[in-house]
Structure 1
Amino acid sequence: MPVLERVLTTNSPAARVSVLPGDGTDVSYSFVFVTFGTGAIVVDAIESVVRSMDASAATYEIVVVDNPHPEAPGTSRRELALSTRGVRVLVATHNLGFAGGCELGALHARGRYLVFLNPDVVVPDGWLEPLVSSVDAGASIAAPMLVHPGGRVQEVGARLDAGGGTHPWLDPAAVASGAAVPDYASAACWVMARDEHERLGGFDAGYFPAFYEDVDLALRAGASGGRIEIVSDVAVTHHRGSGSRRSNGPPDTSDQRDRLLATHPSIRWTRERRSSTNDW
């Protein structure tokens, strides 16, 4: 079977949508990617998903939401070569941000499980089943350990301080034993049951264009009786910051952090204020 096929877009009122013909069967997994001036790196991500699913009998689809970028008009649409198994491309009429893009993808997705993936991740064989098992056992959100290219740990979930600062846990053994308790995990790779995603209301598009939307959703899950679980024996490679074009320098996330603190005021008095990056 050929791995890649160019997908052409057509017009629709809300977004230009390209859909490969489907057979009408139920879909187990919907892999949702959001791109923003993203180049060919998303092809590596999609290929890794396809390879990891080749031995599986489960049905799946890949949904790509392409947010327009002012400095790279049409780049993603020209460069995206997408896998041949049930891909849909939703070309947004304006930039919806990460959260809004995820929600547009979820709206069009058909899977019983929603798998949110950054376009700069590479997943290994056997990565999905442990995350799905975690969700089936009651987790609202299941996430893997993220590693840098080469294998160095990037995060095993993360914690918040009283000012809304985020600090990654770096010791998978500490997280697995419960000695380190993550408040959230990066949504670079999340698995959720569709029903739970809908119960929680999904990502808040007010965290525009990105950052802290994953923190917010994880905290809402916990506040409503759910939980996020880090499956620390699954490692997914994350080429951090390579999934979208950004201006030079670190992004200003103060508005998003202020929104988080206003939405979850208990953060200020339930967590210590920390300046160190990690204790583990």
Structure 2
Amino acid sequence: MTSIVILSYNTLALTRLCIESIRTYTAADSYELIVVDNGSADGSRTWLKEQEDILLLCNETNRGFAGGCNQGMRAAHGDSLLLLNSDTIVTPHWLTNLRRALFSAPDIGAVGAMTNAASNGQMLPVHYDGLEQMESFAARFNVPDPSKWQPWFMLVGFCLLIRREAYIEIGELDEAFSPGYYEDDDYAIRLRQAGFDILLAQDTFIHHFGSASFRKENDSEKSTKMQALNRRNRVYLGEKWGLGEDYALSVDCSMLLPAVLPKKAKVTLLDFRYGKNIYPLRARHPEAEVCGILVGACPLLCPSPRVAVRRAANLAEAAHAVQAGQDFIVVLTLAAYQEEQETVRILQTKLNGNGQVVYSDANGTYQIGRVGR
């Protein structure tokens, strides 16, 4: 059984849609539903009290995302705990697919889903019009496919399924991030440190309206508050784990490569300090042999054991560590090393006959071929 934990905060219409979709698309004996109301004043609490299949926990004030989720998880009895935003609509086979991925191996600690509105590579470019078309799209999309269970750097908390053993091992969400932002990054770091892996189930889609609980002030006020909160929590995450200002940055490395790679192409990604960029690159090119070398990596961040990753103290050491015969060597900050001609020469010797060292800067993307080609 899965314990589904939903936070309610002045989103009655959306919360009803979410719960009705759970009832429609989830086997009744496969879940328990726990709703934590964070002090709503829009009639949410009255409606929730009328629902016989809901365990309702009520707060007089807004305890934020982490605080409310922790409260709900403490009351849970399932072998897995699912944090689900109230502004989501679940779809056919959603929970069955997520549970298959979660229990596919004993070291999987958490699994997430794809959606129409999210960051972190979890968003699909969908073009449905209305809920009926969305449900039809999802029914076609949600076909179980283990080849689409991809290790991922972290998972956004709009739909996060957690193995109970992992929850017991690493504990609750850090409430210092309340009311929200970066608590899901923190949880992912802690999961990997404890030896658990994280999967993105790219065979599972749910609809997400997006940031509904923050839409209570006017747009200008909301934007200012969200930016300040994002900045504060980013700083706290950095202080907690030794992360730099560049942690929030990511590069779509696939944009530096051809859309279609040769079968069994060898690709090495260098200087991806935190390890974010290799995950979507592997997912986009599943038939390629993709590996990464973390240059100057943060020692507290553990990569997925399902991803080929090595560490190097600097770019010169990384260049020597690249295996020969590469089709592409992607260096995210090569522009900063242009004067290190010896390092560039070493990288060139690691290419196959038609291979390329690829990098980009503000002016464009550049390719350097093999020495003597």
Q: Could you state the TM-score of these two structures normalised by the residue count of structure 2? A: 0.55
Q: d(CA) in 2 for partners of 1:40 and 1:169?
A: 25
Is the contact between residue 42 and residue 80 of structure 1 (CA under 8 Å) also seen in structure 2? no
Task: Show the counterpart of 1:49.
Answer: 22
Deviations 1:18-69 (A, max 9, x none): xxxxxxxxxx12110012222221010011111112xx36342111101125
* CA distance 1:223–1:128, change in 2 (3 Å): same
The answer to whether residue 79 in structure 2 is matched with residue 109 in structure 1 is no
Tell whether the 8 Å contact from 1:37 to 1:245 is kept in structure 2 after alignment.
no
Shift in alpha-carbon separation, 1:270–1:243, aligned structure 2, 3 A: closer
Written as runs of structure 1 = structure 2, the 5 A alignment for 1:43-82 is 43-53=16-26, 56=27, 58-68=29-39, 73=41, 75-80=43-48
The structural deviation recorded for 1:243 is: 4.0
- What's 2:110 paired with? 141
CA contact (8 A) 1:63 1:105 kept: yes
Q: Is the 8 A contact 1:46 1:83 kept in 2?
A: no
- For the residue of structure 2 that corresponds to 1:190, the secondary structure is strand
Q: Is residue 39 from structure 1 mapped to residue 12 from structure 2 by the alignment?
A: yes
AA at the equivalent of 2:110: I
Higher relative contact order (CA 8 A, sep 6+): 1
The number of residue pairs the alignment matches comes to 227
Asked if the contact 1:50/1:83 (under 8 Å) is kept, the reply is no
| Structure 2 Cα separation of the partners of residues 211 and 41 of structure 1 | 21
2:241 pairs with 259, 264, 272, which one?
Answer: 264
Q: 1:239 — aligned with what?
A: 209
Q: Output the TM-score relative to the length of structure 1.
A: 0.71
Look up the equivalent residue of 1:35 and give its one-letter code.
Answer: S
Mapped partners of 1:40, 1:81: distance in 2: 15
Question: Structure 1 276/129 Cα, relative in aligned 2: closer, same or farther at 3 Å?
Answer: closer
Who is 1:213 aligned against? 183
- Point out where structure 2 has 5 or more consecutive residues left out of the alignment: 126-146, 256-279, 281-373
60, 67, 70: which is aligned to 1:100?
Answer: 67
Using the aligned pairs only, state the percent identity: 25
Cα distance, 1:51–1:95 mapped onto 2, change above 3 Å: same
Aligned-residue CA RMSD (Å): 3.0
Structure 2 residue 166 is the aligned partner of structure 1 residue 196: yes
Residues 1:60 and 1:35: Cα distance change in structure 2 (over 3 Å): same
Unaligned runs of 5+ in 1: 1-27, 149-153, 159-167
Inter-partner Cα distance in structure 2 for 1:278 and 1:169? 15
Which residue pairs with 1:12 in the alignment?
A: none
Query: Which secondary structure state, in structure 2, belongs to the residue aligned with residue 231 of structure 1?
Result: strand
Say which structure is richer in helix.
Answer: 2
Task: Tell which structure's C-alpha radius of gyration is larger.
Answer: 2
Question: What SS class does the counterpart of residue 21 from structure 2 fall into?
Answer: helix
